[in-house]
Structure formats: C-alpha cells, structure tokens
Amino acid sequence: MSDISDIRMQVMWNRLISVVEEQALTLLRTAFSTSVRESGDLSAGVFDPRGQMLAQAVTGTPGHVNTMAEAVLHFMNEIPRDTMFEGDTYVTNDPWLGTGHLHDITMVSPSFLNGELVAFFACTAHVVDVGGRGFGADAKSVYEEGIQIPIMKFAEKGKVNLDLVRILRANVREPNQVVGDFYSLAACNEVGHRRLVDMMKEIGLSSLDGLGDFIFSRTRDAMLERIKALPKGSWSNELVTDGYDAPVKLVAKVSVRDDHVEVDFTGTDPMSRWGINCPIIYSKAYACYALKCVVAPDIPNNAASLAFFTVTSPVNILNAVRPAPVALRHIFGHMVPDLVLGAISQAMPGKILAEGAGALWNIHISVRPVAGGQGRRAEVLMFNSGGMGARPGIDGLSATAFPSGVHTMPIEATEHTGPIVIWRKELRPDSGGDGEFRGGLGQVIEIAAIEGHEFDFSAMFDRVNHPAHGRNGGEPGVAGVVKLDDGTQMRPKGWQHVPAGRRLILELPGGGGYGDPAKRSVEARANDQSKEYISENGK
C-alpha cells in the first residue's frame, strides 16, 4: 500500500472514531437516567458485518465496551441474516449475553447501504430500574432481580414493538425514565448509521472491508510488538474482598506467552447465594482492560487488540452461571483489574500502581413519604468513587472511578430526581495510604430525605473490611465506613432502612500508597497539610 493510501486509510479510521463519538454523545444528550446523562455509564461502537468491533467511542466504561464487543456476536447468532431489515433495532439485557446484569440494556442495529449490510452499531446504557427486588444484592436468583429481555427486536423496519414497551411499563417503577432510555439507545444507533452512510457516500466506499483490514492489521502488528517485549512466564495473585456476609477470595494467574496473554481465575471462591456473582463476560471485560492498560494503553481498542487476551475460569464467583443472582456483578468485576495488575506487577516491578478503592460505591435510594404523609416517591441512583492507588512517581487520584471511568452525578442533578438532600460531599482527609507517593483520598457523603420522608437504600460497597493494599512498601488505604449520623453502623451490602430525620453517612475508602513512606518529600507532606489532605495528626 502506498504512503498516500495509508494516509487516506488513517483519515477514514479517525473519521470512523468521530462517528462513534457522535453516536455516544447522542445518548448522553437524550438519556433520561442520570447514570447515563450525568455519569457516562454507557458504551457505543461500530462493528463490521462479521460482528468484529472496528471502533469504540472514548466515552463509556470498559465493562460496557468490552462486553459489547462479544455481545454483538450473540445477537448475530440469535437473529438470522435473512430476518434483518433496514430500520431494525435489536435489544437484550440478558446478563450472560449482554453486560453481566439486568440493569444494562444493549441495543444492536444493522446498517445498510444501497440494500447491502455494511456494519452494525451497538450501544449499552444502565437504566434506573428493571423491576424485581431493585438494584441490590438480596435476590437469590436472577429471576428475582427484574424483567429479563431475551435477544429480540425492539423495532422492525422502523416500527417499534409497542407490546414490548407495554410490558416494560408494567414491570418497572420508573416507566417514563426506562422507556425513554430505550428510545435514546435506539436513537444513538440511528445517528451512528446516518453518519456512517454519509461518510461512505462522501468517500465513495461500498463496504468497510478495506478499512477494516487496515484497522485490524495495524492493530495486530502493534499489539504483537508490545507483547513480545513483555517478560515471559506466569504469575499469580490473590485479593480478599468483603463479600456479602463473609469474605470472598479472588485468584488470578497471568501467563505471558510469545504472542498472547492468558488470565485464569482458577482458585477463586465459589458462586455466592447473594447477588454479587459476576458472569464471565464481565470478568473478562475488566481483565482485558487491565492488561490493555499495561501492554498497550495507546493502541485503539478493537477486535484485533482484544484477540490477544484469553480469559478462562471454572464456575465460580467470577464465572457465575444461570440462574445465579448477578445484580451487583460490578463489585467484583471492578476488583478484577487490581487482581490482574497485582499478578503482572511481579513481572514488571516498579511500573504498576497500588490497589485502589476499586468498585464504585453505588447507592440506590428508594424514598417515600412517611406513613400517612404527603409527598413524592422516587428511585434515586448515585455513583460515588473512592481513591485510586498511588502510581510509580505520582500520587493517586482522589475520588476517581478506576477502573470504570464513570463520573459522579452532580449533587444538583441527584437532588432533582427525588426528595433527598446531599448535606455533605467532600474529600476524606487521611484516607489515602501513606508512601513515597500517597494514595488517592476517598470522600465523605451525607444523605437525608427531605422533611416528611424516609428511605430505604441498597448498599453496594466494598473495601469496608479489606482496604486497598499499598505497593513497594506503601501503606494500605483507609477502609470505608457506612453509618447513620447517630453512630449506628450499617452493612456494606444489602437493602436497609434510614428513618425520617436521620442522615446516612458514607466514608469512602482511600487508595494504597506506593513506596517507602520515609522517602516522601518534605514538600509533598507540606502540600498535603496545606490542602488538608491530611489532618494535623496525619502522616
């Protein structure tokens, strides 16, 4: 291929990425749920007619993007090619074929040009409610967790399946928000399709085959070069988490071969009877993300880059099988990067960050008037983040969602969705692990219902009994705390009640420190004191 042809292909590749970015921004602009609109809990991407991901939007979470890369193939297996039509949109929230739990809706739409199938567009978003017990760990099977939508058509030839819409409305607590998000997802794919067709007509392409070959060949060559430069061998790591009512041990063995990297979760604890299990599609997504961060963070994420990673596991809590309850699959899914990075750090000393808070501190609040009172009922979802682990050469980021990358909802947006008040939201001093480089800080959040209301909340927290470890001599981060303002200790997982007049206080965990604390500079400690990252009695 000539230099001019290479440049032309690179320009078209960049153009394709801009197409999926506009696809994702459409979802951000039109979504009803704050988890999508304010936090970016979504994914968007374009796939070739064989179901291979060509490009993903930068906006979105690794869990959504990497599961979506596999989910499109499940859609293609379920819906025969001869039943795909222009104007179709397909949908599912199947945890084992989609993104790991029922609250994530995945939509796939075929894209036609001049009657020929040229691509698929896919997107995923977290909706506020799917019925059942609600977003929490208390179910004993997936059947209790909400409505299950098998892979099916949301729209055929542009006509929406209104029977499905009526079923949705009858099964969820916030029908307008949920149905609105379904239409937003469909619009997201439609925008991607229109922009792709415009691009292909402008450039004079009848298919994406040539561009796909260019993308995949360049990606494969770059990935292979990076993997060949890695140390070869196998390394194992264990990570103990809070679990639900007993600690859960996660185990990973990472093996670097000449042309690929393997991850095996053998040794991880068995499935739980609570809704903290994780389908392998989600565990795999975050294992691949962790490896990608180490091996090739600058190489675009697509089918060719993901093909270099294989993830296997016997049936256990990281490879839960139907009908296991999986609503909180994100908790252990978000712990997988620390687990995998802990193994690879043995092969790459001095290059891997310390453990962080890991899992988001999600909280689902169901608020209502007190008995006999007047007021408003609402379902409110908040995403909150603890501290990241310190990195070699730099302090950890505070109140930052790693590995998910989602944003925290603004207080104003959260209070607008229901009759609650966020009385306090601030960084938590002394929560980052000490070290030559300090772990990121957690935060303190204080929540109450407005006068005349009470609420139940679903706790989805970890690192309360097992804080993040430091690395290379760094100290652990401070563990999280869940309590009421009168000192009553609450559980880190499960549905619980907050009476009218009481406030719920969340003290989020900090990240682990990196390196010997004795080597931290005087200037860095003085800076921490001046910014009140550490108290007068702090280190």
Average pLDDT value for residue range 106-111: 98
Task: pLDDT band for 409, please (50, 70, 90 cuts).
Answer: confident
Q: What is the pLDDT of residue 2?
A: 59
Instruction: Choose the weakest-confidence range: 39-48, 217-226, 247-256, 294-303.
Output: 39-48
**Residue in this structure with the two tokens 């599609």, named with its chain if needed:** 281
Strands 89-92 and 493-498: unpaired
DSSP H/E element including 336: helix 329-344
Token pair of 362, please?
A: 């999600």
d(CA 4, CA 411): 51
Integer CA distances (angstroms), 479 to 404, 432, 539, in order: 20, 10, 17
Task: pLDDT band for 332, please (50, 70, 90 cuts).
Answer: very high
Average pLDDT value for residue range 442-449: 98
Token pair of 367, please?
A: 């608020």
Instruction: Choose the weakest-confidence range: 213-217, 253-257, 401-405, 515-519.
Output: 401-405
Q: What is the pLDDT of residue 252?
A: 98
Is residue 1 scored above 60 in pLDDT?
Answer: no
Contact residues for 74 (Cβ-Cβ < 8 A; gap 6+)? 92, 94, 97, 98, 151
Q: What is the pLDDT of residue 34?
A: 80
Q: What is the pLDDT of residue 33?
A: 82
Question: Residue 81's CB: how many other CB atoms inside 10 A?
Answer: 9
d(CA 470, CA 473): 7
Is residue 537 scored above 70 in pLDDT?
Answer: no
Residues 401 and 333: beta-carbon distance below 8 Å:
no
**Residue in this structure with the two tokens 């020929």, named with its chain if needed:** 116
Task: pLDDT band for 373, please (50, 70, 90 cuts).
Answer: confident
Q: What is the pLDDT of residue 153?
A: 98
pLDDT one-digit tens code per residue, 271-281: 999 999 999 99
Bigger pLDDT: 537 vs 371: 371
Integer CA distances (angstroms), 535 to 385, 393, 396, 468, 525, in order: 21, 23, 18, 20, 11
Is residue 121 scored above 80 in pLDDT?
Answer: yes
Average pLDDT value for residue range 405-414: 87
Q: What is the pLDDT of residue 539?
A: 52
Question: Residue 82's CB: how many other CB atoms inside 10 A?
Answer: 6
Calculate the average pLDDT of the chain: 95
Contact residues for 174 (Cβ-Cβ < 8 A; gap 6+)? 128, 129, 379
Q: What is the pLDDT of residue 372?
A: 83
How long a stretch of residues is the chain? 539
Is residue 5 scored above 90 in pLDDT?
Answer: no
Determine the distance from the C-alpha atom of residue 267 to the mean position of all C-alpha atoms in its chain, rounded to a whole number: 24
Q: Helices marked H in 54-111 — which ranges?
A: 62-78
b/e code 295-320 from CB counts within 10 Å (16+ = b): bbeebbbbbbbbebbebebeebbbbb
The alpha carbon dihedral of 292, 295, 299, 305 has a sign of: negative
Nearest to 120 by CA among 69, 176, 158, 156: 69
d(CA 114, CA 19): 19
**Residue in this structure with the two tokens 């600690």, named with its chain if needed:** 247
Q: What is the pLDDT of residue 4?
A: 65
Helix (H, G, I), strand (E, B) or coil at 349: coil
Task: pLDDT band for 3, please (50, 70, 90 cuts).
Answer: low
pLDDT one-digit tens code per residue, 54-95: 999 987 789 989 999 999 999 999 999 999 999 999 999 999
Average pLDDT value for residue range 332-360: 97
Task: pLDDT band for 192, please (50, 70, 90 cuts).
Answer: very high
